Amino acid sequence: MATITKIDLTNVSGTLQGTFNTPFELTDPTNSTTLSLAAGSCDTIGGYIYQVTGGDFAVTDSASDGQAYIYVEDSGNGDCTAILSSTAPTYSAANHGYYNGSARAVFAVTKSGSNYSYKQRILTNINAVDSITTPVLIAPSITTDTLTASGSINTDDIIAVSDQVTFNNKINVTNGVATTAGNWLKTNVNNLPVWNMDVVPAISMSLASLGITGGATAVRNVFVVIVDDAGSAYSEFGVGGYVTITSTDIILNRVSAGVFDNTAYDATASSRGVITVVYGV
pLDDT by residue for the chain (281 residues), tens only, comes to 788 777 755 554 544 444 445 688 888 877 788 899 989 888 888 878 888 988 999 999 999 998 899 999 987 777 899 999 999 888 888 888 889 999 999 988 889 999 998 788 886 655 554 555 555 566 655 666 666 666 666 665 556 666 566 666 656 666 656 555 556 788 899 999 999 999 999 999 999 998 898 889 999 999 999 999 999 999 999 999 999 999 999 999 999 999 999 999 999 999 999 999 999 87
**Spatial separation of the C-alpha atoms in residues 253 and 222, rounded to whole Å:** 13
254 by Cβ neighbours in 10 Å (0-12 / 13-18 / 19+) ranks as buried
E-only strand ranges, 210-266? 219-227, 234-236, 241-245, 249-254
- Looking at domain 185-280, its CATH architecture is Sandwich (2.60)
**Residue 47 three-state SS:** coil
Q: CA angle, corner 238, sides to 234 and 239, nearest 5?
A: 70
What does the domain layout of the chain look like in residue ranges?
3-116, 126-172, 185-280
**Spatial separation of the C-alpha atoms in residues 166 and 148, rounded to whole Å:** 5
Count the neighbouring beta carbons within 10 Å of the beta carbon of residue 22: 10
**What are the backbone angles phi and psi of residue 161, rounded to the nearest 5°?**
-125, 120
Q: What does pTM read for this prediction?
A: 0.49
Q: Output helix, strand, coil percentages for the chain, rounded to the nearest 5.
A: 5, 50, 40
**Residue 115 three-state SS:** strand
